[in-house]
Amino acid sequence: MDKALEYHCMNGVPGKVSVVPTKPCMSAEDLSYAYTPGVAKPVLEIEKDKANAYRYTSKGNLVAVISNGTAILGLGDRGALASKPVMEGKGVLFKRFADIDVFDIEINEKDPDKLIEIIKAISPSFGGINLEDIKGPECFHIERELIKQCDIPVFHDDQHGTAIIATAGLMNALDIVGKDISKVKVVVNGAGAAGISCSRMFIAAGVRKENLTLCDSRGVIHSGREGLTPEKAQFARDTAERTLEDAMKGADVFMGLSVADCVSSEMLLSMASDPVVFAMANPNPEITYEKAKATRSDVIMATGRSDYPNQINNVLGFPFIFRGALDVRASKITENMKMAAAMALRDLARKEVPESVSKAYNGQHFSFGREYIVPKPFDPRVIEEEAVAVAKAAVEDGVAMCPIEDWDAYRASLRERMAEYWK
């Protein structure tokens, strides 16, 4: 059997997640508290004040990971049920890296407005909602409306997760090569959810809008193009460039969220000195790591793969962003909270890497530089730095229902909470 398939049914247990009770149920007395008649008491307390749900139920540490299966990884629309292994996997990562519980929910509905209605209706059960593998452009509308209609954080990871990690990597890569973010020419290839979000966040980080070229499968998105979605239209430039090859000439940064092998050696050679190339197509990037390095020795290369340096991995984002948001009971995840996460990752990558990280990666040693521009997921400091930054930003933005006053104590609580996972 294929090893990946074997993993998903090892020890005779199908799947990757289970539900484990947090209270004893070993006696008749326990049962009377867990269910009837004792359970009536918290019911009445929650009826009096909805905030009591955070005191008497798991709501405050429970995230719904939701998909309709229309954009599963790089596999496209495979149906809601086929998305379940991915959603279970997200649950594993939430728990392993941030001690957040997850219910994965696969919804067999492609109509965006009906999907919004369903998700809103079930939202009271959860402290947050992580949308996943929902195709564009519908995903923009779905997330936007749910943020408006729900009083808990809603986060479409395909959009923002990649953007947050990539922005941290971009800031560090440009620092390493000594380039000013406000002066670099950036090309983003792929105008789906991740490409649009990366473009927006790069601009928020300091890239000038007139210096960013967005491309899709038809080439450069320019002001003469007709039939553009509103999301694409905001990046339309008045330019004579029409192809990806045109756009790449003299570019300082290439961000690929598209298809394998669309960048040739000649296109890479046409870029400016010390080019920064993020080739994120999975499993096969826009240009392979080997080909890029053989073509240019001055390239800083990142991919979405774990077997090469500089993996831009969403697991560096969503668990810790939700951890910080849940801990202050944020009503939403703001742009400031996303940027705070990116800057926390940027800063952490510049610090000395502990020996425990080296052990987690078969003895490899890491230090800030061309082949280490973002932290590793198995760095135990990530939760402390990122969750705190996100929680602080939520307080600053006025979306924290339970602001934290003692940040040192909060940091200590995160270390204690995760101690078992890092033994």
pTM of the model: 0.94
Residue-level pLDDT at 159: 87
Contact 81, 74 (CB under 8 A): no
Q: What's the chain's Rg over C-alpha atoms?
A: 22
> How much is the pLDDT for 136?
85
If you search the block for the tokens 């219910």, which residue do you land on? Answer: 103
Low-confidence spans in the chain with pLDDT less than 70 = 1
Position 146 scores a pLDDT of 98
138: its two tokens: 């519908």
User: Tell me, what amino acid is at 65?
Assistant: V
Residues labelled catalytic: 35, 90
Nearest CA-CA partner of 191 in 204, 200, 181, 182: 200
Per-residue pLDDT, 293: 97
The pLDDT assigned to 423 comes to 75
Beta-carbon contacts of residue 374 (< 8 Å; ≥ 6 apart): 165, 168, 169, 172, 302, 310, 311, 312, 316, 345, 349
Strands (E) in 169-308, as ranges, are: 186-189, 212-216, 219-220, 253-256, 276-279, 300-303
Segment 153-200, tens digit of pLDDT: 999 998 899 999 999 999 999 999 999 999 999 999 999 989 999 999
What domains can be seen in the chain, in order of their start residue? 3-22+58-152 (3.40.50.10380), 160-303 (3.40.50.720), 314-422 (3.40.50.720)
In angstroms, the CA 58 to CA 73 distance is 29
pLDDT at 1: 63
pLDDT at 74: 75
Count of alpha carbons within 13 angstroms of residue 130, beta-carbon side: 34
Selection from 72, 174, 58, 44 nearest residue 124 by Cα: 58
CA dist 306 and 312 (Å) reads 9
Residues 6+ positions from 60 with CB-CB distance below 8 Å = 53, 54, 127, 326, 329
Q: Which pLDDT score is estimated for 92?
A: 96
Nearest C-alpha neighbor of 231 from the set 218, 220, 221, 244: 221
